[in-house]
Amino acid sequence: MGKLKLKEHVITREWCKGCGICVHFCPKQVLELDDQDKVFAARREDCICCELCELRCPDLAIEIETEQGSE
């Protein structure tokens, strides 16, 4: 059993209001807001799957989907 690995940042764009809470509190600065003030994973390879964005999002607009790592 390897450790949890990121599969995808599942973002519901229509629900995101661009408050920037996830962007600011991400410990690895993975997230950014695009030109329409919607969140996207700008540096997905840096994500450590701590899920703090998902836990703090007031709009339930971001989810961290993980999978089991190979080792």
Binding site for other proteins (CB under 8 A): 14-15, 17-21, 24-25, 52, 55-61
> Is the Cβ of residue 46 or residue 56 nearer to other proteins in the bound state?
56
Residue 3 identity = K
Closest approach of other proteins to the CB of residue 71, in Å: 27
CA count, 13 A, side-chain hemisphere, 16: 23
Instruction: Kindly give, in sequence order, each residue whose CB lies less than 8 Å from that of residue 43, ignoring residues fewer than 6 positions away.
Output: 28, 29, 30
Closest approach of other proteins to the CB of residue 10, in Å: 10
Closest approach of other proteins to the CB of residue 40, in Å: 17
